[in-house]
Amino acid sequence: TETNMSVICEDGSFYAFNVKYADEPEKLSIEMKDFLSPTDGRLPSNRSDIYFKELGNESPVLVKLMMQTIYQNDRRSIKHIGAQQFGMKFLLRGLYAHNGLLYFHTRMENGTNMPYSVDFITFKVVDKKMAKRTAIQEQVLQPLRAYHQVMQVHGMGSEHAVFALEQFSLAEDKQLEVTLYERKGGRTLTFYVTAEDLQLAKKIDNLKLKW
């Protein structure tokens, strides 16, 4: 008896298989990551891509590829945005724009001998000047994807990550607040991105994507 089976992976790749019953199958399980890498520069013929609503017109496979390329290139195109406190540095190394998405390349540096356990990172649009900020005056932006988001930075070590957010703009009286929180600790670091900084976003077309 023959039937068919469809598989949708987290990165948006879609595969269709013809399946036949066998008393003694050659394989009991298939590792899908073997299908996610191109062979001789070509993708499998039974592969196609689907699109997730939150990513708009951008292919999830392409989003992952762009984040991976930004991470591997590890270029520092922005040098004036970051926070330094408690022996820690939390920096914005690069900002990229492509097809309705913004990519934030961040870096954490631990200059102490104590490991830094990451709780979470937040992205909020806030007022530039506010004596007493309230939740109503904050707009939380949820990252759509994260690449190499680590949970710990070892003592005297460093880590970097890439976050993809839906493209947005900032009014002159607003700024983006990016905050790194320590798990079970008080070493919180925050840097700010202004409307002028967003204009520094580079085109990803200039990057050589790496499969």
Sequence ranges of the domains in the chain: 2-50, 75-203
Enter the pTM of the model.
0.77
- Condensed to tens digits (0 to 9), the pLDDT of residues 59-110 reads 888 888 899 999 999 999 999 999 999 999 999 999 999 999 999 999 999 9
Q: Give the percent of the chain with pLDDT over 70.
A: 78
Cα separation of 50 and 33, whole Å? 17
Q: Characterise 47 by phi-psi region: left (phi > 0), alpha (psi -120 to 50), beta (else).
A: beta
pLDDT at 49: 59
Hey, what are 126's tokens? 């806030």
Q: Does position 188 have pLDDT exceeding 60, yes or no?
A: yes
Q: How confident is the model at residue 57 (pLDDT cuts 50, 70, 90)?
A: confident
Cα separation of 143 and 114, whole Å? 28
Which fold does the domain 75-203 belong to in CATH? Immunoglobulin-like (2.60.40)
Backbone angles phi, psi at 68, to 5 degrees: -65, -40
Mean pLDDT for 42-62 is: 65
Residue 167 vs residue 46, higher pLDDT = 167
